[in-house]
Structure 1
Amino acid sequence: MIVRKNMGRAKSLLMLLIVLGFSFATYNLVSMIIDHNKNEGLVADESFGGRKVIGSAKFGSKYHVALTATDAAYSQWQCRIMYYWYKKVRDMPGSDMGKFTRILHSGRADQLMSEIPTFVADPLPEGLDRGYIVLNRPWAFVQWLEKADIEEEYILMAEPDHIFVNPLPNLASRTQPAGFPFFYIKPAENEKIIRKFYPEEKGPVTDVDPIGNSPVIIQKSLMEEIAPSWVNISLRMKDDPETDKAFGWVLEMYAYAVASALHGVKHILRKDFMLQPPWDLHVGKKFIIHYTYGCDYNLKGELTYGKIGEWRFDKRSHLTSPPPKNLSLPPPGVPESVVRLVKMVNEATANIPEWDTLNRI
């Protein structure tokens, strides 16, 4: 059954949080929002019931796959492919995957509710995201963590443009989450800005890991501590013109890294967590394909990045409707990672029901 109640007071309290200046005392305000709205929201998944796991981590602990998304067609078709491959690899040897939730932060149900286990979170109050829609992600996590019955002790934070290419074990340790080091997240090179949110008395700027929130495998109890701070830091960064200009589309990633450091959390940095075609040429033993970059090649198999190729695959070519079935394979000479990506997309689209019609604007 789907239930939804008014979150007006939650939004008012969140606005108060902003007015008060986003100090870390605002953790209590976020807690007040959650306490008031506990068990409210929109849930569509019969499998959410079950016990909450409490205790120390152990090798082989299951993790819950949490995918944040919107109800736009562009997000929907990526979610469908991602969920298809989750189901394919979930029970393979070496996998520690548990259950799956799409955290939909559009504030309303969509047509994928019966296909993908989904929790519907309220977005930020109108205007707060300033057109930067991923600012809703940390606030959605705060709501989900408080309201959903999550059986697993760990959580994998994932995104729609992730494809599981190999069975993914729990890469976290008892004391540290696991994250992927992004080459473009550079806290040390942005120390002046980082110090606005991570003051010197907290420690060296190298305490801030070069990561975003995804992919990250983290103990649920630790994520419950970090998430409210992640909300606060994200909004503070967006409200600061210098920070907003410097960090741009990766602002929310920096906010997660800073929030983690403020809680004394260091991540195990796993380069094998993910590969990103066309820059990573081989899949090997890596676990996730992240297809955020366009793949453009001429018919000789040469990369033409920055120029539309004679052959291309770019998710942004499909903003308003899903890509067609049976995409053409890359020409000879294109790296194995790109070939594998297109083959996996083709397999998913060939097997997902109503692929051509369900998620169109």
Structure 2
Amino acid sequence: MGRASDLFLVLLVLGSSFVAYNVVTMIIHYSSSQNLVVDSMDDGLLLDPIVEKPKNLKKQKTTRAPFHIALTATNAPYGQWQCRIMYYWYKQKRNLPGSEMGGFTRVLHSGRPDNLMDEIPTVVVDPLPPGLDQGYIVLHRPWAFVQWLQQATIEEEYILMAEPDHIFLTPLPNLAYGGHPAAFPFFYIKPEQNEKIVRKYYPEEFGPVTNIDPIGNSPVIIEKNLLAEIAPTWMNVSLKMKQDPETDKAFGWVLEMYAYAIASALHGVRHILRKDFMLQPPWDLETKNKYILHYTYGCDYNLKGELTYGKIGEWRFDKRSYLQGPIPKNLPLPPPGVPESVVTLVKMMNEATSNIPNWDSSS
């Protein structure tokens, strides 16, 4: 990489520091180069046939490498009930054989404590100043991680960046390998198809846009020190993207995901792409050989068990139906014919709500 590239990255990192300084000021004022794709849960890293593993990954790890689970959240009821369910399943899976799950932190970017402080390990950080997110609440995430990494004492050397709507299906090992973080590949993150916009933040001297992995920041397992380097750049790129009308229009609700992918590439970081890291019903039909269930999409079916996506079904589960309070206990099971992934989701929801104390409208 030439001098121009080095200068750009220095300026960007300095810009990140400058943005961070300005954010703090405003808060006070307002009071290896290869794309690694892994198909299955296999310690030998079953690879997509067109992809090879870098030489420095040929050796299998022989020691445990615990990782800390961190998720950013608000104090809104919608996020609170999801965090409670996620934390329940973390506790169920953490100490099982095969797990390398370490400590847990909810990074609460409301700027003040809430009523879950005694239930879930939590660190309170500041939100962005009013109006800076332009209604895009996910923009608080990189700023929350910057603050948390600066102030927290984290025993583990690795961090899993997770989200409230994640459920651990099985004990999760550390899928990262040294300086290669592990991430889930999203089909809708397409740097090559958006090269004109991407080049605003990833100049040509850094290399082809294929250096940018098709990922977001979650789920990602990454070395703590590496994340501390990337996070300010991630924040800076996110803010710049949101302030650019063309980028904002093109990337929409996945803007912050692109920002993390680009920030990682600017630091020369490539991720091991683990297809088995996560599944997303209703599109993924089975939970077999998957680690995390992500219930971001609505699940709508008729009584014949047929998917009616885009149309409210006779049977449905959609987390957005519960914006003002927690899901009820004992959700009805789907009708016969609905995929196993959706049935598992409902059963795990019901188990959690039956065992979490004080699961009611006061959550």
TM-score where L is the length of structure 2: 0.85
Give the equivalent residue in structure 2 for 1:53.
none
Counterpart mapping for 1:199-210 below 5 A: 199-210=203-214
CA distance in 2, matches of 1:113, 1:126: 24
Give the equivalent residue in structure 1 for 2:108.
104
CA distance in 1, matches of 2:20, 2:285: 45
Residue in structure 1 matching 2:282, options 278, 286, 290: 278
**Shift in Å at residue 60 of structure 1?**
2.0
Give the conservation status (yes or no) of the 8 Å contact 1:185–1:254.
yes
Question: Is 2:165 aligned against 1:161?
Answer: yes
The one-letter amino acid paired with 1:95 is: S
Give the conservation status (yes or no) of the 8 Å contact 2:73–2:108.
yes
Give the equivalent residue in structure 2 for 1:340.
344
Give the equivalent residue in structure 1 for 2:136.
132
Closer/same/farther in 2, CA of residues 124 and 34 from structure 1, 3 Å limit: closer
Question: Is 2:29 aligned against 1:29?
Answer: no
In structure 1, list runs of 5 or more residues that go unmatched.
1-21, 37-56
Note the aligned Cα RMSD (angstroms): 1.6
CA distance in 2, matches of 1:194, 1:31: 22
Q: Deviation per CA, 1:248-284, whole angstroms, max 9, x where unpaired?
A: 0000000000000000000000000000000000000
CA distance in 2, matches of 1:272, 1:129: 33
Question: Is 2:293 aligned against 1:289?
Answer: yes
Give the equivalent residue in structure 1 for 2:330.
326
The one-letter amino acid paired with 1:270 is: R
Closer/same/farther in 2, CA of residues 33 and 129 from structure 1, 3 Å limit: closer
Question: Is 2:231 aligned against 1:242?
Answer: no
Closer/same/farther in 2, CA of residues 32 and 319 from structure 1, 3 Å limit: closer
Give the equivalent residue in structure 1 for 2:266.
262
In structure 2, list runs of 5 or more residues that go unmatched.
1-10, 26-60
CA distance in 2, matches of 1:222, 1:23: 16
Question: Is 2:227 aligned against 1:223?
Answer: yes
Give the conservation status (yes or no) of the 8 Å contact 1:34–1:143.
no
SS of equivalent to 2:71: strand
The one-letter amino acid paired with 1:116 is: I
Give the equivalent residue in structure 2 for 1:8.
none
Counterpart mapping for 1:117-196 below 5 A: 117-196=121-200
Give the conservation status (yes or no) of the 8 Å contact 2:12–2:233.
no
**Shift in Å at residue 25 of structure 1?**
1.8
Give the equivalent residue in structure 1 for 2:32.
none
CA distance in 2, matches of 1:161, 1:31: 28
CA distance in 2, matches of 1:298, 1:224: 47
Q: Deviation per CA, 1:19-76, whole angstroms, max 9, x where unpaired?
A: xxx843224436768999xxxxxxxxxxxxxxxxxxxx97420000001110000000
CA distance in 2, matches of 1:30, 1:74: 30
- Number of aligned residue pairs: 318
Q: Deviation per CA, 1:67-90, whole angstroms, max 9, x where unpaired?
A: 111000000000000000000000
The one-letter amino acid paired with 1:192 is: K
The one-letter amino acid paired with 1:26 is: G
Give the conservation status (yes or no) of the 8 Å contact 2:23–2:128.
no
Give the conservation status (yes or no) of the 8 Å contact 1:295–1:338.
yes
The one-letter amino acid paired with 1:115 is: E
Q: Deviation per CA, 1:206-245, whole angstroms, max 9, x where unpaired?
A: 0110000000000000000000000100000000000000
